[in-house]
Structure 1
Amino acid sequence: MTTARTLIDLAAIEEAARRIAGHLVRTPTAPSPGLTGLLGVPVTVKLELLQRTGSFKSRGATAKLLSLTEAEGAAGVVAVSGGNHGIAVAEMAGVLGIAAAVCMPESASSSTVAACRATGADVRLTPDVAGAFALAGELRAAGRTMVHPFDDPIVAAAQGTVGLELAEDAGELTDVLVSVGGGGLVSGVAAALQARRPGVRVWGVETEGAEAMSAALAAGAPTPVALSSIVTSLSAPSVSALTLDHVRALVEEVLVVSDAEAVRGSLDLAAHAKVWAEPAAGCLLPAARRVVDRVGPEARLGLVVCGGNTGVRDLLGFAERFGVAF
């Protein structure tokens, strides 16, 4: 049974906010008339795609890097990522003068690999995510500090600063939707909202073929999953006990949508919200329709638009692959 002692508290999130202040952007929280018209209920967006490095991941990466001792910083860090976490660690480590190695599966987009290498990071490609974690383990054993994408209370608390800002800046909300990969963002956001707006429901969203949290909830423990989703930034091979505890305790439900729906959602965000978001954020729109169907017209939605690191060619290529009109 999950207890409050295992969960990130408001004090940890507020400490993370103080730690990263001055390094990152307080991203806009704004009503979206276009999405309100599309979904038929008031919609507020938290635009984390406008964050430094193009996603919320810079929050956790920066907090972790700033927590290192002088000796740890001198030894360097290692990260595993299919996308945004790697970019965040690579850039913020470069800014802080810390050597970074980023282990990435070969399925990572060429633009993501190029973005990491442009910072001066040592990018290591492996056949799959499991291989990336194995290589990172070797580098950690050799002395580098792991900057884990989600299985770290410092990282999760820093992701929770998204929820802290949303709670402070948004109008009335009944339901907030958050994308789920390994679960660090949804854990932190749910913890912040539970403390600041305890009546608000938080919903997680995964894509088919990247269902690590759904599998863990069904199994009662983190469990490895086979990955097939095109949404590599949500493709964690498993969640952690830390993030599973938070979702069990604080999240209403984890909804699963198809890759095609996520791509359609990205195109709808461009057309109606006027923002260029990756499918990891596009998945929120089909899930939002389900939430509105359940909650009814009194719903007041908040969407955490987590990132925008997808190129035009990639997104239009996905749309053609799935037969999504644009």
Structure 2
Amino acid sequence: MLIGIDEIEAAARRVAGHVVRTPAVDSPGLSGLLGAPVTAKLELLQRTGSFKARGAVAKLEALTEAERAAGVVAVSGGNHGIALAVMAGALHVKATVVMPRSAPARAVRIAEEAGAAVRVADDMAEAFSLTERLRDEGSTLVHPFDDPVVIAGQGTVGAEFAADAGEITDVLVSVGGGGLISGVAAALHHLRPGVRVWGVETEGAEAMSRALRAGRPVPVELSSIVSTLSAPAVSEITHEHVSTLVEDVLVVQDSEAVRGVLDLAEHAKLWAEPAAGCLLPAARRVVERVGPDARLGLVICGGNAAPADVRDWAQRFGLG
């Protein structure tokens, strides 16, 4: 089930002209903060504000005419829904997005403004259930991570990083359902085979780390504030990629992820969301584990955080 470089290169051809080749930049500020050289892949500069545009358009471009005509449906904690709504609108495909009530109001508004019909469920588990029902009623499912075409689309992040970054030894990627890390790990496995890949989750959104302990995907109860990482379970295909290609999945607290948002703003001049902020505390642990020769790559997955939300989180956790 592992994605190969041929699938990632095919996805790159599909997304060409639709997405931005985001820069990979050395960050003196983060290097000083973390005590190791840091190169950041800036997917927060991507269309729709996150890497999700890649997988969404890769899947949309791979659909048959009948699948397009049926309209597409997706479940999302925010970023996948935004990406699918915007990219489907650009390709004149009818889209429905199902989000939990915990999804950022900004994400709901952007999806609606892009022309998608937005359905709101009480929680993420109910959102997945409603999405499956809409699929069974005839809509074409664009799953955020349980789809090899979507994973290959996210893998274009890793292919670009491999081509554009200098010497890196360890790459950190945040994990929700595992689509991004699966694609990035597959690309680096082929293009930078000596590089270690590490996943990062937040407490209360630990679907992948629990799957690794269980040896299979298992349902988890979600309590993290980080809705964009809050998958109720990973998939068989993402579990296989991570268990085969990823060094480890580290879990950090929500407060650490929010502290990471503030540190990214202060030290890297990047406005990121907690799904990216969680990388910084995990990066310190990676440096401790691998030693002083570490050269870090950070996939800054998205920047869709409202200033009011960041302020409220900082106050909640006493971060100032």
Which category of TM-score, normalised to the shorter sequence, fits these structures?
over 0.9
**Structure 1 residue 136 displacement after superposition:** 1.0
1:154 pairs, out of 142, 149, 152, with: 149
Give the 5 Å matches for 1:196-207. 196-207=191-202
Give the 5 Å matches for 1:208-287. 208-287=203-282
SS class of match (1:176): strand
CA distance in 1, matches of 2:296, 2:103: 31
CA distance in 2, matches of 1:77, 1:131: 18
* Structure 2: gaps (5+ residues): none
SS class of match (1:189): helix
**Structure 1 residue 294 displacement after superposition:** 1.1
Aligned amino acid, residue 107 of structure 1: S
Over residues 26-81 of structure 1, what are the superposed CA-to-partner deviations in whole Å (9 max), with x where a residue is unaligned?
A: 00101001101111111000000000000000000000011111111111000000
Over residues 79-127 of structure 1, what are the superposed CA-to-partner deviations in whole Å (9 max), with x where a residue is unaligned?
A: 0001100000000000000000001111111111111111110000011
SS class of match (1:102): strand
CA distance in 2, matches of 1:138, 1:237: 17
Are 1:69 and 2:64 an aligned pair? yes
SS class of match (1:267): helix
CA distance in 1, matches of 2:104, 2:150: 24
Q: What corresponds to 1:97 in structure 2?
A: 92
Runs of 4+ in 1 over 4 A off after TM superposition: none
Q: What corresponds to 2:310 in structure 1?
A: 315
Q: What corresponds to 1:3 in structure 2?
A: none
Q: What corresponds to 2:286 in structure 1?
A: 291
**Structure 1 residue 316 displacement after superposition:** 1.1
Aligned amino acid, residue 284 of structure 1: L
CA distance in 2, matches of 1:37, 1:218: 34
CA distance in 2, matches of 1:158, 1:126: 27
**Structure 1 residue 283 displacement after superposition:** 0.1
SS class of match (1:223): coil
SS class of match (1:210): coil
SS class of match (1:103): strand
Decide which moves more: 166-175 or 130-139: 130-139
TM score, norm. by length of structure 2: 0.99
2:119 pairs, out of 113, 120, 124, with: 124
Aligned amino acid, residue 158 of structure 1: G
**Structure 1 residue 133 displacement after superposition:** 1.2
**Structure 1 residue 130 displacement after superposition:** 1.3
CA distance in 2, matches of 1:133, 1:285: 30
Figure out how many residues of one structure are paired with residues of the other and give that number.
320
Aligned amino acid, residue 33 of structure 1: P
Are 1:22 and 2:17 an aligned pair? yes
TM score, norm. by length of structure 1: 0.97
Over residues 231-267 of structure 1, what are the superposed CA-to-partner deviations in whole Å (9 max), with x where a residue is unaligned?
A: 0000000000000000010000000000000000010
Decide which moves more: 166-175 or 67-76: 67-76
**Structure 1 residue 213 displacement after superposition:** 0.2
SS class of match (2:221): coil
SS class of match (1:224): coil
Are 1:85 and 2:84 an aligned pair? no
SS class of match (2:298): strand
Superposition RMSD on alpha carbons, in Å?
0.6
Identity of counterpart residues, as a percentage? 70
**Structure 1 residue 142 displacement after superposition:** 1.6
CA distance in 1, matches of 2:168, 2:189: 13
Are 1:47 and 2:42 an aligned pair? yes
CA distance in 2, matches of 1:133, 1:227: 13
Aligned amino acid, residue 316 of structure 1: R
Over residues 270-312 of structure 1, what are the superposed CA-to-partner deviations in whole Å (9 max), with x where a residue is unaligned?
A: 0011000000000000000000111111100000000000011
CA distance in 1, matches of 2:179, 2:187: 12
Give the 5 Å matches for 1:176-215. 176-215=171-210
CA distance in 2, matches of 1:182, 1:61: 15
1:172 pairs, out of 161, 167, 170, with: 167
